[in-house]
Amino acid sequence: MELQPWNCSRKKILQTKQEQAQNMGIEIERKFLLKNDDWKAHVTETHVIRQGYLQSGLEKSQKSSVRIRISNKLANINVKSVDLAAVRQEFEYEIPLHDAQEMLETLCDGVVIEKTRYYVPYGRHLWEIDIFEGDNAGMVMAEIELSRLDEPFEKPDWLGPEVSHDERYYNIYLLKHPYKQWQL
């Protein structure tokens, strides 16, 4: 499915997510830093995201993270294998917004990751650009979800180096090591 700026809507984003869900609970995602802000001219949708973890997956006995996320007015619970790699198991289910708000406030140890996600179609793919806030302010990252690890994709001029295999760029790492504490 080709996504174009003039037809990329919430419906198209949901269709893309539904197609990805058909991969039997597998997420294939690559992460990149950005060279510049040229992507901003092509944003088709924006979501304000707040997310916290019921289980981080950081303990040796844990094989998964369990995340609560509110994105605009939609909420979900997400279970993801803790492998910090491009291919991971992932299961995501919508939950009532009120329940998600309550869980973020009372069950996530007060650590909530805040970011604004911008959707940017390029070629045949939809890029998600995250600008982090709070303790992670200053971090900007692009993600692309693929249907297979070796799937070819066009790299926009604004794309920087790949960081898919760098644990620092995973949300669960940011729980214990927020961006503001990094030595850059």
pLDDT per residue as tens digits for the range 81-118: 887 677 888 899 999 999 999 999 999 987 899 999 99
Residue 53 lies in a domain: yes
pLDDT of residue 62: 82
> Residue 154's domain spans which residues?
10-181
Output the CA angle 140-164-56, nearest 5 degrees: 85
State percent of the chain over pLDDT 70: 85
Q: Is 27 a residue whose pLDDT tops 50?
A: yes
Structure confidence at residue 6 (pLDDT): 37
Could you tell me the CA-to-CA distances from 135 to 105, 128, 149, 150, 174 in Å, in that order?
17, 20, 32, 34, 9
Cβ burial, residue 150 (10 Å; 0-12/13-18/19+)? exposed
5 assigned to some structural domain = no
Decide if 88 is inside a domain: yes
Is position 1 within any domain?
Answer: no
pLDDT value of position 61: 80
Chain segment 124-164, per-residue pLDDT in tens: 999 999 999 999 999 999 999 999 888 999 999 999 999 99
In a domain, 3, yes or no: no
This prediction's pTM? 0.84
Q: How far apart are CA 88 and CA 140, in angstroms?
A: 22
Question: Which of 53, 118, 122, 170 is flagged as catalytic?
Answer: 53
In the chain, the number of structural domains is 1
| Residue 36 covered by a domain | yes
Q: Indicate which CATH number applies to the domain containing 162.
A: 2.40.320.10
53 is catalytic: yes
